[in-house]
Structure 1
Amino acid sequence: MNDIDAWVWWLVAAAALGIPLVVTAMPEFGMFAVGGVAAAVTAGLGFGVVVQVLVFVVVSVALIAVVRPIANRHRAQRPQLATGIDALKGKQALVLERVDGSGGRIKLAGEVWSARSLDAGRAYEVGQEVDVVDIEGATAIVI
């Protein structure tokens, strides 16, 4: 196997490692594929098999050691932008019809919502501002 054949084999190995990345969505395979490309470049520059394998191992392990913890940290973070009903929690609303434990109407984010108070014994009169603490179905829970 001469130097040109070596870099071709490394690229084939990188492509083969890229296939499970797409199929399984495991980023480690992508990191191994990048190690294969680095080894192909090393082979193309004329270095021996031992150096090629060493470059493959070092680049792959370095990527896993550095990129994987960063990816896990980003995956664990909550999204910065709240959407849907999560964006409505904590907003203020205007009472349109008396709101108590059994129901009522509020104007929330420009729309009319059915609402009920969190504390069943508490009532809010027309014109009062209330805070939305939760959304259950199409009903806002307010305090």
Structure 2
Amino acid sequence: MDIEAWVWWLIGAVGLGIPLVLTTMPEFGMLSVGAAAGAVTAGVGGGMVAQVLVFVAVSVALLAVVRPIAARHRTERPQLATGIEALKGRQAVVLERVDGGGGGRIKLAGEIWSARALDNGQSFEPGEQVDVIEIDGATAVVM
């Protein structure tokens, strides 16, 4: 029983796909795609040299192009601000006079917050828009 070359390439592609799933190393997936390209080359009648060249070319191209992109995406994940960090930089509406001494109230993200002005000499009247600079305990510091 003589197995055709394209079948061997497919077996190699599957064999390289198994460690990809087990180790989550994308390099195995890229080599697996290269082996599948070798199988296609064998299926259309390409010789052994052409099959190996296609396998190497596709594998190296994927390693050279996809791997750096994947590495960059792995390290550059956007930070999702949650909790009080998500409130910094947002705008709020003054409900009760806010000054540097505290005691004022603002409406921030649909909730009522105590607030104080960042600059002690500054004050904000009801209805004014303010920017939240930071959250100090349960008090929003605004300007």
| TM-score for the superposition, normalised by structure 2 | 0.69
Report the secondary structure of 1:90's partner residue: coil
Unaligned runs of 5+ in 2: none
User: Corresponding residue for 1:39?
Assistant: 38
Shift in CA distance, 42/74, structure 1 to aligned 2, threshold 3 Å: same
Q: CA RMSD of the aligned region, Å?
A: 3.4
- Tell me, yes or no, if structure 1 residue 130 matches structure 2 residue 133: no
Q: 1:24 to 1:112 in 2, by over 3 A?
A: farther
Structure-1 separation of matches of 2:25 and 2:64: 15
Offset at residue 22 of structure 1 (A): 2.6
TM-aligned CA deviation for residue 93 of structure 1: 0.6
Q: C-alpha separation between the residues in 1 aligned to 2:101 and 2:23?
A: 49
Q: Whose Rg is larger?
A: 2
Which residue identity does 1:65 align to in structure 2? Answer: A
Rounded to whole Å, the distance in 2 between the matches of 1:3 and 1:48 is: 15
| Structure-to-structure mapping, 1:1-143, within 5 angstroms | 4=4, 6-75=5-74, 77=76, 79=78, 84-85=82-83, 88-97=87-96, 98=98, 100=100, 105-115=105-115, 117-118=117-118, 121=120, 124-127=123-126, 128-135=128-135, 140-143=140-143
Corresponding letter in the other structure for 2:130 = V
Q: CA deviation at 1:42?
A: 1.0
Relative to structure 1, the CA distance from residue 140 to residue 61 in structure 2 (aligned partners, 3 Å threshold; closer, same or farther) is: farther
> 3-state DSSP class of the match of 1:89?
coil
- 1:43/1:83 Cα in 2 relative to 1: closer, same or farther (>3 Å)? same
The size of the alignment, in residue pairs, is 140
State the SS of the aligned residue for 1:132: strand
Match of 1:11, SS?
helix
Q: Determine the C-alpha separation between the residues in 1 that align with 2:75 and 2:28.
A: 21
Percent of aligned positions with the same letter in both sequences? 64
Unaligned runs of 5+ in 1: none
Cα deviation for residue 109 of structure 1 reads 2.7
